[in-house]
Amino acid sequence: MKKMKIDSFQIEQEITIEASRETVYKALTAEIDKWWTFRLGENESKLSIDPKINGLFFEDWGNGEGAVWGTITYLKENEEIRLNGILGMKGAVNSYYSYRLETVGNATVLKLSHEAIGFLEPHWEEAHKHGWNELLQQNLKTYIEKSEGL
Phi-psi region of 91 (alpha: psi -120 to 50; beta: other; left: phi over 0): left
pLDDT of residue 148: 42
Select the CATH number that applies to the domain covering 6-146 from these four: 2.40.50.140, 2.60.40.10, 3.30.530.20, 3.90.1310.10: 3.30.530.20
Interacting residues of 78 by C-beta distance below 8 A, sequence separation 6+? 21, 22, 25, 101
What is the percent of the chain where pLDDT is above 70? Answer: 97
- pLDDT(144) > 70: yes
List pLDDT tens digits, range 23-55. Answer: 999 999 999 999 999 999 877 899 999 999 999
Backbone angles phi, psi at 93, to 5 degrees: -145, 150
Over range 110-139, report the average pLDDT. 95
List pLDDT tens digits, range 47-93. Answer: 999 999 999 999 999 999 999 999 999 999 999 999 999 998 888 99
pTM as predicted: 0.92
- pLDDT(20) > 70: yes
pLDDT, mean over the chain = 93
Q: Rounded distance, CA 141 to CA 120, Å?
A: 29
What is the percent of the chain where pLDDT is above 90? Answer: 85
Within 10 Å of residue 141's Cβ, how many Cβ atoms? 20
